[in-house]
Structures are given as structure tokens and as C-alpha cells.
Amino acid sequence: MSSSVADRATGAIIGAAVADAAAQPMHWIYDLDKLKAVLRDLEPCPEFRPQSANPFYRRTTGEQTCYGDQAYVLLESLSRCGGVNVEDLTKRFHEFFGPGTVYDLPLNDPYRKKGGPKAILPINGPWRNASLKVFIRNVDAGKEETGCDVDCQIDGVTKIAPVVAMYAGRPEMLEKVEKAIRVTQNNDMCVAVTLAAARFLEHFIVNGPDPNAVDAVLAQLNDPDRQNPQELDKAVIDVICSHEQIQGHS
């Protein structure tokens, strides 16, 4: 890597971690009116809100969401193994999010039965989301495929910076991203969306700022000889194009 590319790769990892921590106190506020009220109180600087407004869980400002923590585990595994190692990554995810950890709270129990007492929210501590719960159950059951095949949350996109940073500009980048994602999310839509995001991030790491990045990524996704093709690439293309049309008329 040239120094500028290496700097951008490092910046992608650090930037993703800082952004996750900055947004964590306002994570998962689905009530739009409440979100607007919180933002009004914080203008012009909504990042790193001192007191959490998260309606589901509470962590100290500066700590990560479950997405940021996944990125940390991924970075640690890459650093120790020198690349994507599914066996090591599986072990580290289970050790970080599994039994006896800060994530091991009653409401976040992977084996918690539905229909029990109503949860009192927010909980004091981090939130173990759906894909992580299924992942833990799959590992405990000794399954070869440990990833959740139904959860379609944004975990993949939010944690891929370390993988893309390591493999940017190399033909195996997308293959390595897919291997890392399927450890916890074995869902084809999650993978297709994450690979599109990886293409965008790689483009900026390799090339720097580029107003034509969308066109470049769409060209990749439309290329019949593209790396790591997915059956859902066409659906991803349609979403990107629809967003571009909306932006063009806004």
C-alpha cells in the first residue's frame, strides 16, 4: 500500500469506531418525534450525547454499540491471524458476546423463551441483537454454519471496515468480506448489501474522494465478470438507482 492508501485504510477503521461511539447514545430511536426533540436539544452537535436517549439499552457515552463491538472483534482476529480466519473469528465472537460477558443479561439470553414477563426497558448494559443470539445457539449446538439465516440487520455494513482496509485493492477482498459476514449472518440479502458497501469503501480507500463513486460501484455490480457475484446484486442495483433518482429530485 502507498502511504496515502494506508492512511485512508487506517482512517476507515478509526472513523467507523468513532462514528459508532458518537451515535451510540441515540441508537435505535425509532420514534421520529422523540428523535427530533433529542436533536433539537443537542444542536449543533448531536454526537457523543452525555446521557443516553436510547430506548432499549444504556451504555456509557464513548462505548460501542453491538455493531461497533463486532468490528473490534473482527479487527482483533485479523490482527492476530494476519487475515480472515473463520475458526478464530467464530471463537472470538462467542467469547466476546457469549456467556459470562457484559452482553450476558437476562433480556439478552439467547435461550429466553417468548411469552415471559414483559421486559423493562431500557436495560443497563449492551444489547445482544438477534443475529448474535442465533449465532451463539448455533455455536453451542455445534453447527458448521454458525450464522443466522433470517436476521437482516445492518451488522455486516457497520463492521466491515477492518476487512476492507486489509484487503483493499486485492482481488480476494469481497470473498474475505463474505466469509467474515457469514460467521454471524448467513443471510443472502445481508451479504449482497454488505458487499456493495465494501465496494464503496474500497473505492474511497484506493482512490480517495470521488464524486463518481456511485457510477464506479454500479459499473462493478453490472459487470457480468465481477468478483464474488451474488444472486441479489440486481436488487441492490435497483435500490442504489432509486436512491440516486430521489436525491436528484430533492
Domain of 46: which CATH number?
A: 1.10.4080.10
Burial 65-84 (b: 16+ CB within 10 A, else e): bbbbbbbbbbbebbeeeeeb
- Residue 192 resides in a domain: no
Radius of gyration of the chain (CA): 19
pLDDT at 248: 59
DSSP state at residue 33 = H
- Domain membership of residue 212 (yes or no) is no
Say how far apart CA 46 and CA 168 lie, in whole Å. 32
pLDDT category of residue 104 using cuts at 50, 70 and 90: very high
Residue 23 forms part of a structural domain: yes
Tally of structural domains, the chain = 1
Q: What share of the chain is helix, strand, coil (3-state, %, to 5)?
A: 60, 5, 40
pLDDT digits (tens, 9 = 90+) for 81-91: 999 999 999 99
Q: Name which of 180, 193, 128 is nearest 154 in CA terms.
A: 193
Whether residue 144 lies inside any domain: the answer is yes
pLDDT at residue 124 tops 50: yes
**4 Cβ contact list (under 8 Å, min separation 6):** 208
CB atoms within 10 A of CB 6: 13
Identify the weakest region by mean pLDDT among 140-144, 191-195, 243-247: 243-247
Q: Does residue 171 sit within a domain?
A: yes
238 is a domain residue = no
Strands 123-124 and 57-58: parallel
- Does residue 135 sit within a domain? yes
Q: Would you give the DSSP letter of residue 28?
A: T
Whether residue 138 is contained in a domain is answered as yes
pTM score of the predicted model: 0.93
pLDDT digits (tens, 9 = 90+) for 170-187: 999 999 999 999 999 999
Domain span holding position 39: 3-186
